[in-house]
Amino acid sequence: MAKRMREFIRIDPELCSGCQRCHTVCPVDAIEGEPGEPQKICGDACVMCGQCVQICSAYDAFFEKDADWRVQKLRERNMPDGTNEPLFAAHYRGNFLAVKEILMHKNKFTMVQCAPAIRVALAEEFGMPLGSLVPGKMAAALRRLGFDRIYDTNFAADLTIMEEGSELIKRLTEGGTLPMFTSCCPAWVKFIEDKYPELVGHLSSCKSPQQMAGAIFKTYGAGLDGVAGENIYSVAIMPCTCKSFEAGRQEMKASGYQDVDAVLTTRELGYLIKEAGIDFAGLPEEEFDKPLGIYSGAGNIFGVTGGVMEAAIRSAYEMVSGKPLDSINVTSVRGEIGVRRTIIDAGEFQLKTVVVSGLKNVLSLLETVKQGNAEFDFMEVMTCPSGCISGGGQPKMLLPLDVPDAYHNRRNSLYRHDEELTYRQSHENPEIKTVYEQFLGEPLGHQSHKLLHTSYKASS
Ligand code: SF4
Ligand code: SF4
């Protein structure tokens, strides 16, 4: 069983007003307390999604407190001393200081990856319009911060499709636990492990793209740069407050080293860029480093609800039917409704899919799976309401009225980026082909199994 390394999400009793807005968004009812009193998080129930961090509106009137009080609070939260943003009661305690230290001392070879949802939200930290698409400026900023290799989680999202699509086809054709559930959202995985242990076998054995990238960095990537895996410090920039928990899972080190050494949220990357005095808006557009920074549009849409399913269909349909899709845009799996069902006719067989956003929406479906009545083969679940674009580590909207616009614009920017990319299917990505030819062998092969898959276990 994965142990929680530390409490990533906290509510500061000194600042909490007891308004209970967090109760309305917590997908697992993990917040307890009386109205008007400071609330508490039940650590056993919490899946660390950070939705309470996003909605919390109780903050310090810091200009009335003394400076020492504020600096102490900032340090408790691992935030930079100089930040002038309000300190909200519900907050995330991340890894900003650890990563800053590594970049300062340069005693490790640093490799960084960025989740798809970062490139459509980071600019908001610098006053740019909601949902601005900035992959090139983000790569440029990471280079100026001193990272040695600027790689991309999107590459590993393409790898995930190769492995997860093959796993699904294997389960469908050779027999295996069905329906299969996606496993790229660590809050969802934790929820199944804790609350539905009898259904753990339904989870895909694939690691998430974050963890696949980390495993590849310290093996294949290490070889490309002639650096020992032990000398690589692997940083993941994520929209997610649960990804630190995932990175800390004890079993995530098949290469012999922990796949990912530190996770920063989008907000924490913003702190690093601001502290370094980088003019983000004025940065030029730069490329990610090759080969592990090359990605397809399919990998890019992992950041939005329905994206993993669409990416999987774009490749699995062709693998099964041997024919190209009528339209590369599988619009039937897109949308904002909490549960979306689709049937894909792939010639030899029909694939019945379900896409779910928000854990509360999955409960009735899980009951049908438990009773053996599920009428679907493959289910994507994302804990956050619009998928990772609305994750707990994304820029926080100070005006609640901005939230729908932010999610709408971020989603549209991800789809626009998909449409402008050269490759739109994971199996078309030339660097994915190369990594299989030169290193992994084949999807579900021995090396892939060792590095890219894991075994999720019921919590005891
Ligand atoms: S982090 Fe998510 S699961 Fe945990 S208390 Fe907050 S809203 Fe609930
Ligand atoms: S939906 Fe994305 S951001 Fe939200 S908990 Fe899951 S992985 Fe994290």
Among residues 450, 103, 404, 387, the alpha carbon closest in space to that of 268 is found at 103
The question of whether 163 is a catalytic residue gets the answer no
Structure confidence by residue, pLDDT tens digits, 129-186: 999 999 999 999 999 999 999 999 999 999 999 999 999 999 999 999 999 999 999 9
Structure confidence by residue, pLDDT tens digits, 384-420: 999 999 999 999 998 889 999 999 999 999 999 999 9
Output the six-digit token pair for 145: 């911060």
CATH placement of domain 1-93: 3.30.70.20
Task: Give the pLDDT band of residue 62 (cuts 50, 70, 90).
Answer: low
Residue 374 has pLDDT above 60, yes or no: yes
Closest ligand by atom to 92 CA: 1
CA 89 / ligand 2 centre spacing (Å) = 21
Ligand 1 pocket residue status of 49, Cβ below 6 Å: yes
β-partners of residue 344 are: 351
Q: Which residue lies with its CA nearest to atom 8 of ligand 2?
A: 240
Residue 267 has pLDDT above 80, yes or no: yes
Task: Identify the residue with better confidence: 230 or 60.
Answer: 230
**Considering only the top CATH level, what class is 153-452?**
alpha beta
CA 187 / ligand 2 centre spacing (Å) = 7
CA 419 / ligand 1 centre spacing (Å) = 34
Q: Give the separation between CA 151 and CA 130, rounded to whole angstroms.
A: 24
- H/E stretch holding 96 reads helix 96-105
Among residues 232, 219, 228, 281, the alpha carbon closest in space to that of 261 is found at 232
Q: How high is the pLDDT of residue 349?
A: 75
Q: How high is the pLDDT of residue 166?
A: 96
Which residues lie with the beta carbon below 6 Å from any ligand 2 atom? 49, 185, 187, 239-240, 242, 382-384, 387-388, 391
Q: Is 427 helix (H, G, I), strand (E, B) or coil?
A: helix
Closest ligand by atom to 44 CA: 1
Radius of gyration of the chain (CA): 21
Ligand 1 pocket residue status of 187, Cβ below 6 Å: no
Q: Which of 49, 160, 206 to mutate to test the pocket of ligand 2 (most atoms within 8 A of CB)?
A: 49
Domain ranges of the chain: 1-93, 153-452
Q: Which residue lies with its CA nearest to atom 5 of ligand 2?
A: 49
